[in-house]
Amino acid sequence: MNPKTFKPKKNVPEGTKQHQLQKYAEATLGSGNLRLAVVLPDGEILDEWLAPTKLSAPEYVDHLMEWVQQQLDDESVFPSKIGDPFPPNFQVLVKNIFKRLFRVYAHIYLSHISVIEALEEEAHLNTSFKHFIYFVQEFQLIEKRELQPLADLIASLTSQDY
């Protein structure tokens, strides 16, 4: 684990709102019903409830892939019949999906490239990422500033094709 990315649990003072939310989260997580763990508790403010959420990288990727699949399966977002209307915010949603998927690539390259190389799978990863980047660039799906963590890699992978 990279010590720069590890954030130790904070000691939340008793009697504070954060302490109450932390205790609620701990109680519901231990209940075996994960759906209850994410429901906004009665009387709580949404912004405060959203702020304690922390996920490990594997949990983030798992949740992200589930969310993307839900979007793809939702006929009101991705209609499967020709002629059915797309929602007015369709392009915003697609851009959000691609931005989040880019973060998965960035995490793999920045944190796990040595494993990918040891498995001799770097060519497959690079090909997949290159295809992803060409699609992103063709339709301007991710702002350049969001691509900065892998800007050198992107330049290297795409430079020979121009």
How far apart are alpha carbons 133 and 38 in whole angstroms? 33
What total of structural domains would you count in the chain?
Answer: 2
Is 38:26 a contact under the CB 8 Å cutoff? no
Residues 83, 10 within the same domain = no
pLDDT score for 63 = 86
Residues 66, 138 within the same domain = yes
How far apart are alpha carbons 27 and 71 in whole angstroms? 30
How far apart are alpha carbons 157 and 128 in whole angstroms? 11
Q: Tell me the residue range of the domain where 126 lies.
A: 57-161
Question: What CATH number has the domain bearing residue 106?
Answer: 1.20.140.30
| Residue 56: C-alpha distances to residues 111, 153, 154, 160 (Å) | 13, 25, 26, 36
The dihedral through the CA atoms of 55, 57, 58, 61 has a sign that is positive
Q: What is the pLDDT along the chain (162 residues), one digit of tens a residue?
A: 444 443 435 566 787 656 666 666 666 555 555 666 677 777 677 777 676 767 788 888 988 899 999 999 999 999 988 999 999 999 999 999 999 999 999 999 999 999 999 999 999 999 999 999 999 999 999 999 999 999 999 999 999 775
Residues 70, 147 within the same domain = yes
Residues 48, 61 within the same domain = no
